[in-house]
Amino acid sequence: MNMRNEKAIGIFIVAAGIFILLGKLGVFGFIGRHFWPLLILLPGIALHALYYARISPAWSLFPAGMLTVYGILFGITNTWGGGLMSSLWPALLLGIAVGLLEYGLAERHRPEFVLPAALAIGALSIVLFGFTLLHTGIIYVLAVLLILGGIWLLLGRGRPRRGW
């Protein structure tokens, strides 16, 4: 064996040892448990970058928007607990709406159903977000805001006004 081959084999053996040691210490498990949403978010951002660099066509914005929204959603639920998914599930529909909207706004010869479908799915997602938020503690905030608004109206909103 010549000296060059021995160095290459030595580097390979050291790299394999480091890889095994990091695996046994739990580094890869930690990275996998905490950063897996990046496997969804980064391709979405990359597809956006490819479109805006004029490398990919406009239809690539549909999966780009979906992957970006889903990556953010799963990042939030991974960080603060999977129980949030019971309140944030309408974001799954929002991802489809964002993807369709980005495609519809970027495509010159878009099909006529794209923008109305994006707006309808987005509106449905927002309505469903509202319903899920009403089943959480936000109902108390809404009640307090209604009480304060009613008191403000009862007290005359400041100075009395003339006319209508």
- Domain layout of the chain by residue ranges: 1-35, 36-150
Residue 138 pLDDT greater than 80, yes or no: no
Phi and psi angles of residue 30, each rounded to the nearest 5 degrees, phi first: -60, -45
Residue 153 pLDDT greater than 80, yes or no: yes
Query: Which pLDDT score is estimated for 1?
Result: 64
Q: Most distant CA pair in the chain: distance in Å?
A: 101
Closest CA to 141 of 85, 91, 123, 149: 149
Query: Which pLDDT score is estimated for 25?
Result: 86
Query: Which pLDDT score is estimated for 94?
Result: 96
- Position 62 confidence tier, pLDDT thresholds 50, 70, 90: very high
Query: Which pLDDT score is estimated for 157?
Result: 66
Question: Which residues have a Cβ under 8 Å from the Cβ of 131 and sit 6 or more positions away?
Answer: none
Question: CA 95, 116, 49: angle at the middle one, nearest 5?
Answer: 45
Higher local confidence (pLDDT), 50 or 33: 50
Helix (H) or strand (E) holding 111: none
Question: Which residues have a Cβ under 8 Å from the Cβ of 124 and sit 6 or more positions away?
Answer: 90, 93
Query: Which pLDDT score is estimated for 98?
Result: 96
What average pLDDT does range 108-114 have in this prediction? 85
Closest CA to 64 of 101, 114, 93: 101
What average pLDDT does range 77-85 have in this prediction? 89
